[in-house]
Amino acid sequence: MQSAIRGLGIGVGLIALFLGLRLRLDRQGREGPLSDVDRVFHARQDVRRRLGVAVLATIAGLMELGYWVEPGARGRGNPVFVVLWLGILALIAGLLGVALWDSAATWRYGRDRRRELVRDHVRELRRHAPLERAETDEPPASDSAEIR
């Protein structure tokens, strides 16, 4: 069982390393000047994701430490072992919270950008609609069908 714990700790550590490298590459891959809204979103996203990687690396470290702590001795449980694994479970719950936080923030950002695109599109349609009506010499459509 102890070797499985060690293997799991190494696996989690490698995942944390991979996600940290991916975060770095993502930051380097951002091209061109960003708008203020995009810059703020990406800065906050980087903080959330760094926090997630740090928690994951901490979990991996505690799992490696758990390899060296005996679960029990002389028929009694080891309180250090129990506290260690309860801490790991708490960190896993915290990691899930960070992931949900990042997911919700990304969803809100995407929703706001889509709404902004629709508003810009409607604004452009309204700007070009009178020009097209004048070119075709057709009477304008009723105002009740106007896009809002």
The CB-based long-range contact list for 115-120 (8 Å cut-off, 24+ gap) reads none
Cα angle: 81, vertex 96, 105; to 5 degrees: 155
Place of tokens 């009477």: 139
Tell me if 66 sits within 8 A of 89, measured CB to CB. no
Q: Where do the structural domains in the chain lie, given as residue ranges?
A: 2-137
Residue 35 has a pLDDT of 87
Rounded Cα distance, 46 and 62, in Å: 24
Tell me if 71 sits within 8 A of 81, measured CB to CB. yes
Q: What is the mean pLDDT of the chain?
A: 86
Residue 23 has a pLDDT of 92
pLDDT per position as a tens digit, 44-57: 999 999 999 999 99
Residue 5 has a pLDDT of 80
- Cα–Cα distances in angstroms (integers) from residue 132 to residues 26, 67, 122, 142, 148, in the given order: 43, 74, 15, 15, 19
Q: Region 85-98: what's the mean pLDDT?
A: 96
Question: Model-level pTM?
Answer: 0.74
Residue 130 has a pLDDT of 73
